Structure formats: structure tokens, C-alpha cells
Amino acid sequence: MQIVILQDSAAVAEYGANLFIQQLQKKPASVLGLATGSTPVSLYQRLIAANRSGEVSFKQVTSFNLDEYLGLDGSHKQSYRYFMNSQLFDAIDIDKANTHVPPGDADDPIEACDRYEQQIVKAGGIDIQLLGIGRNGHIGFNEPSSGLMSRTRVKTLTKATIEDNARFFSSDEYQPHLSITMGIGTILDAKKVVLLATGENKADAIKASVEGALSAACPASALQLHRNVILVLDEAAASKLSDIEFYKHIELENQKLMQRLGKA
């Protein structure tokens, strides 16, 4: 795992956005795996700015989001489809027909999960997958006890996740307790995975993901199995890691090597 520790959340967003910009410059027809939550919002703002300045285009991009609430259609303000449209898609030159979010309003959600998997395969697989992380180590809506090889499916949300996300719903609004989420196996199939985490409330989950055992108890620990994963953390999210200085040292050595090879 590549672990990059930066001073604050702004630096994390900048670093993460640059990884996506580099990917799009290398392959304009990239398949992007996208995420919701508050963490990626600043990264999306940077991508919007890069699109406006002509640094990148999304015209040939296909995207797949990690998850969606089951029971909400895309016009619901708390749906992840609505979030993606308002936080990113409406502001960039992407063709919305090429953007995919699991259908929260599907008549047959189980069949819709299989179809989502097929659509990812048909698009050629995900080139770069963005992830946030829940306080309990969830990725997408893969809650603790999720199978490490799981595929897109319906998942029940934990009480902790429902409470964490309650801040987005008004008191009279229905808050779903089920979701459709890419599985951990689906996420591990992405060619590159970029996980962003900021703030002290993520420090335990990061510690368990990086230095804990590979375990369904912490779904993000499955990333230990991925050959091309990068965790971009601010100092607060990294604060419980026991080997911070070593991770920083590795990064400096990586940078020196890349410079020497002319790849920096």
C-alpha cells in the first residue's frame, strides 16, 4: 500500500485530484469509479476547475459510482445520483448517459446488481476507483462482515452508518437503511484504487485498514490485497498509525526514485 500523509484536507484533495487528472491526460476515455460523502467534495471542485481551464476533458469518460440508497430515486436530494449531478456531473463536460449510479429505485434490485456488474465489465473495467472510508472501516456501503470477495449487492446499513449519515436528512425525511453497493471484490478489480481520509474521526479506521489484520471486520483492510492502492491521508487521519515516520520516509524514497527515472 502506498501511504501519503499530507498536512491537511486541502492538500489531500489536491493530491487526489492530480491522480485523476494524470489518469485522464494519459487515457481520455478512462473508466472512473466515483464516491460520495463529504470527503471527495473538494476533489470534485478541483476536477471542475481543471475541466473549466481546459486541463482535462470528461467527454470520453465513463463513470460508475460505488453505491446508492435503496428506495431513493435520482431526483431525491439525498440520493447519491442527485449528489453526483450537483457536485460534479452538471459542472463538467461529461455525457450523463455515460455516468452510472446503482439504481436505488429498481423494481428488482437483485437483478439490478448483476446488471451493474455486467455494465462495468462491458465498459472495460474501472481504471481508477475513488474511495472514502466510514468510521467503522466501510468502503462504499460494505459494512463490517462484508465478504472480502463480494460483488455488487443489496446491503443493510449499520446503526453507526445510519447515524453518521443522518446529518444529511431532515427529521421528517425517510432515511433508507438499505443500499446497493459495489462489493469489495468489485472494488478490488479496479486497476488503481485511491482512498482519501481526513480528520481524526477516521484515524481508528485507517489504523485498522493499514496496520490491522486482513479481516471482514474492517472492510477497507481488504485493500491490503490490492497491487496498486494509494491512501491519501491528512495528519489527523494518519495520527493513530504507529509507523508514520516510516511511511513518510518511503514516500520520500519513492519520489527520489521517480525523479531519478524521470517519471516524477
Concerning whether 136 is annotated as a catalytic residue, the answer is yes
In the complex with ligand GLP, the residue whose CB is nearer, 35 or 238, is: 35
What is the nearest approach in angstroms of ligand GLP to the Cβ of residue 243?
A: 24
Residues recorded for the chain? 264
In the complex with ligand GLP, the residue whose CB is nearer, 56 or 139, is: 139
CA dist 264 and 245 (Å) reads: 22
Catalytic residue among 65, 67, 127, 142: 67
Count the Cβ atoms, other than its own, within 10 Å of residue 130.
Answer: 26
The H-assigned helical ranges of 98-240 are 109-122, 159-165, 184-188, 203-211, 235-238
Name the residues that contact ligand GLP, by CB under 6 A: 35-39, 66-67, 132-134, 140-141, 161, 165
What is the nearest approach in angstroms of ligand GLP to the Cβ of residue 150?
A: 15
What is the nearest approach in angstroms of ligand GLP to the Cβ of residue 94?
A: 20
Q: Do residues 247 and 18 lie in contact, with contact meaning Cβ atoms separated by under 8 Å? A: no
What is the nearest approach in angstroms of ligand GLP to the Cβ of residue 161?
A: 5
Count the Cβ atoms, other than its own, within 10 Å of residue 28.
Answer: 13
Closest CA to 70 of 132, 165, 157: 157
In the complex with ligand GLP, the residue whose CB is nearer, 51 or 165, is: 165
Catalytic residue among 68, 100, 127, 143: 143
Catalytic residue among 98, 138, 142, 226: 138
In the complex with ligand GLP, the residue whose CB is nearer, 38 or 254, is: 38
Concerning whether 226 is annotated as a catalytic residue, the answer is no
The alpha carbon of 168 is separated from its chain's Cα centroid by a whole number of angstroms, namely 19
What is the nearest approach in angstroms of ligand GLP to the Cβ of residue 258?
A: 29
Where does residue 248 rank: exposed (0-12), middle (13-18), buried (19+ CB within 10 A)? middle
Concerning whether 143 is annotated as a catalytic residue, the answer is yes
- β-pairing, 229-234 vs 192-197, is parallel
Question: What phi and psi, each to the nearest 5 degrees, are found at residue 46?
Answer: -70, -35
- One-letter amino acid of 164: D
Reading the block at residue 5, the C-alpha cell is: 500523509
Residues annotated as catalytic (active site), given as ranges: 67, 136, 138, 143
